[in-house]
Structure 1
């Protein structure tokens, strides 16, 4: 099950175990059970601190659990945690033994104070790069809350259950059998969701913050770079972000960032965050901005930032770097069938449609890449493009056209998502040339039609926006409002690329610093 190199690395890591643990497998005699048994035996053979047992009676078999010797297991894996989930397995082995998790004392105290008694389940696919964060967060919560369990369920291992529970997007999170969330969630987000008093506590702390010199709104490449450049000037710098990493967290392979030949979005985001944290930057994560007032709109001449929880922050300058998100089709049925057939991440959710018929909306690079990836998993892919030609790179078009289970429909306007009340069953579209209506029978629709700037919160402000909702800036990243700068995908700068966003973030921070000096603040 484990190759020689992986076994050697795992053996070294298991030397960090703080106390003896046991892995308890619940088997059912199937081929999948044989694989579970093989993995458990191989891990146990790597350390005398690990004991393998094959007498488990967990209701979901085949599966295995990890526990301190003499304790009831609280961390469960229903499936083989390989691929992206292998790190989740390693961390579970170590943390169950008592090895300290790499989280702040504040977050750990909040986890322990939850005082939960609950059973968590998270459905994953092993190709999902968003799932491990959720699995690892729930495992940590279970480890520090006796009476609470966390179970990772590989949808491919338990396909019948996936069908029965109509799970068509991952990660999908349940608490005591009730759906409580889906999609990428950090440990802090999950803890905040479970801690009913967290918003009020956050607001109190935020209201007591001192005045910033530069306050960055947004935690993606532009925002992180702006914070680094500002902090290096030795001035009071903060970041307010809904989630650190931004859209990069939803990106799979990155191959065009100079000096980095290839990496993955979550890894790139983690390295950005670590870089920011190496400086004296006040990071305020999981906070959403509701409104902004420029320096010429406030009595004290400072920029005022109001958050959703009611807290207000003051700064001499701000840098808006709120990024963008996937554009939606905005047709009937799309909202109703989100996570029930309508999806936006082929890497995460593609495996759930194995052997089924799906459509991809969009003929740019992202759409054609999605169709190519999905063609290796599903029965058939229909790519639907609004234009009369595909806009993807020719090499991608050639690859798509070489695949036997793909169809391309161009000059087509998607008009409606059809479902049976529980899941998607078809897509309606109109032939733009003949105005005739057509319907494609399918189980999934992957939307890949570009980006929308995250600027809705500025609709009532005096900050100028383009007709596409982008923040209008000049060559120094200045907006039309005093003390307010902007950078990255939320602005009018063309070409939404990570490397361009980082450069723009640097420019915005330097312009903000220059503004502070020249204004004598």
Structure 2
């Protein structure tokens, strides 16, 4: 089942298992059960006797298996074969059930242990989903730390009847005690914030007690991470507040234009960014959404950033790196059927539409790439582009045109998404040349029409372009003294990871230059007044 290279890597990891682990499989006579058993036997064969396999499982989902710490009630369950993006989840579960300590802050561990109640989580994932492992790994960890938490990870593509019955149309989808809990990527901290109602208030109190920063970065994507690193390297007090560290890069499947790295994936790149930031003295405040920017009362004074939780942060300079989010069509039915057939991540949700009909909205690179990927899974793809021609690279257009189950419609405006109250049943588009209206019957709509800057909260503080982007000069300075910006939220053209990193670095260097040029006496007086 596993090749020699993976077996060798796994053997190294399993050296960290401290407690004996049993893999208890629930199998039937099918091919997938045989595949699962082969995987479990491969794991046991390289464990030096620390892991054993049993086929005495009685779970109704088959194939499935529990990773159980022998002689205890510590365990996690996988329904399916956790390879692809979930292989790391499998390895971490083996280690953590086997007594290897998780890499989580002690206060987070204590918060998990202190949860009062019985929690039974079920997470539906797909093997091609880059967002799913975060949720699977977070809930597995929680179930190992707190025996009153149980977690089952379910491959939606393998249990399609169950997915249909529970109306799961997006992954990751998590249920708690049989009821909907969350959809989309979540970290341990985000899950705890929903379970522990006092967590947000405690976080706000901690933030209120913080001293002023020299540089405060708002945003944790490539621009924000680069800005924080460059600022911290100058030896000045640096803070970073982000709603979600990693930003849009977390949702990027394949990255092939990051110079010197021929190929990587978004979550892997974000992990590297996060570790690099942690190597420096940066106060990282995750799960924090900015709500208002208040200019300094006097030149060189303290700038204030109010957060949605009611706390405020103060700093001598601020770097805005809030990035962007997926643009929506803004048509009737889109919001009603979000995660009920309307999706924005073809890699994540595509496997749930196996054998069905879908549309892709958008003819740029992301739209054409999505249509190509989906064509290998679904029955038929209709690609709808507003312009008179596709805008994707020529090589992608040629590939798309070669696929027999793809229809390309140009000069078309999507006007409505239709559904039966539960799920998508079709869409309507208008031919921009003739004004004729057409309906397409289908089960899924994947929206790929670009990005919108996350700058609504700044409209009364810094100058924005007509597209909502932060206007900056060649040094990354905004219209407010001491406030700089970089990345996809700005007017800098070409929204690319490598450009965002450069712009974030430039903003940090400009902020440092601004600080050292402040008259010492004026700066001290301004801060005292603030």
| Structure 1 length-normalised TM | 0.98
2:25 aligned with 1:16: no
Q: Is this contact kept in 2: 1:489–1:501, CA < 8 A?
A: yes
CA–CA distance in 1 between the matches of 2:223 and 2:497?
8
Q: Is this contact kept in 1: 2:23–2:52, CA < 8 A?
A: yes
2:386 aligned with 1:360: no
Give the equivalent residue in structure 1 for 2:527.
none
Kindly report the root-mean-square deviation, in angstroms, between the aligned alpha carbons of the 2 structures.
1.3
CA–CA distance in 1 between the matches of 2:187 and 2:73?
26
User: SS at 2:470's partner residue?
Assistant: coil
Give the equivalent residue in structure 1 for 2:406.
406
CA–CA distance in 2 between the matches of 1:297 and 1:58?
67
CA–CA distance in 2 between the matches of 1:449 and 1:225?
27
User: Is the deviation greater in 101-110 or in 118-127?
Assistant: 101-110
Give the equivalent residue in structure 1 for 2:258.
257
CA–CA distance in 1 between the matches of 2:118 and 2:29?
32
Give the equivalent residue in structure 2 for 1:165.
166
Give the equivalent residue in structure 2 for 1:506.
505
Q: Structure 2: where are the runs of 5+ without partners?
A: 524-530
Give the equivalent residue in structure 1 for 2:221.
220
2:528 aligned with 1:516: no
2:321 aligned with 1:333: no
CA–CA distance in 2 between the matches of 1:34 and 1:408?
41
Shift, 1:507, TM fit = 1.0
CA–CA distance in 1 between the matches of 2:74 and 2:288?
35
Q: Is this contact kept in 2: 1:384–1:408, CA < 8 A?
A: yes
CA–CA distance in 1 between the matches of 2:12 and 2:476?
49
CA–CA distance in 1 between the matches of 2:108 and 2:174?
20
CA–CA distance in 2 between the matches of 1:188 and 1:118?
16
Shift, 1:73, TM fit = 5.1
Q: Is this contact kept in 2: 1:74–1:148, CA < 8 A?
A: no
Shift, 1:323, TM fit = 0.2
CA–CA distance in 2 between the matches of 1:464 and 1:170?
38
Shift, 1:518, TM fit = 1.5
Give the equivalent residue in structure 1 for 2:461.
462
CA–CA distance in 1 between the matches of 2:151 and 2:396?
41
Give the equivalent residue in structure 2 for 1:5.
5
CA–CA distance in 2 between the matches of 1:82 and 1:224?
30
CA–CA distance in 2 between the matches of 1:14 and 1:233?
41
Q: Structure 1: where are the runs of 5+ without partners?
A: none
Give the equivalent residue in structure 1 for 2:422.
422
User: Is the deviation greater in 75-84 or in 110-119?
Assistant: 110-119
CA–CA distance in 1 between the matches of 2:158 and 2:13?
27
2:50 aligned with 1:49: yes
2:73 aligned with 1:77: no
2:138 aligned with 1:123: no
Shift, 1:43, TM fit = 1.7
Shift, 1:61, TM fit = 2.5
Q: Is this contact kept in 2: 1:24–1:55, CA < 8 A?
A: yes
CA–CA distance in 1 between the matches of 2:117 and 2:517?
53
Give the equivalent residue in structure 1 for 2:528.
none
Give the equivalent residue in structure 2 for 1:369.
369
CA–CA distance in 2 between the matches of 1:53 and 1:419?
46
CA–CA distance in 2 between the matches of 1:254 and 1:31?
34
| Structure 2 length-normalised TM | 0.96
Shift, 1:78, TM fit = 0.3
Shift, 1:297, TM fit = 7.2
CA–CA distance in 1 between the matches of 2:302 and 2:476?
19
Q: Is this contact kept in 1: 2:74–2:147, CA < 8 A?
A: no
CA–CA distance in 2 between the matches of 1:58 and 1:402?
44
CA–CA distance in 1 between the matches of 2:268 and 2:117?
31
Shift, 1:484, TM fit = 1.1
Shift, 1:22, TM fit = 0.6
Shift, 1:515, TM fit = 1.2
2:314 aligned with 1:320: no
Matches within 5 A, 1:132-281: 132-281=133-282
CA–CA distance in 1 between the matches of 2:492 and 2:390?
24
User: SS at 1:404's partner residue?
Assistant: coil
Listed one character per residue, the Cα deviations across residues 300-329 of structure 1 (whole Å, up to 9, x for unaligned) are 921001111100111001000000011000
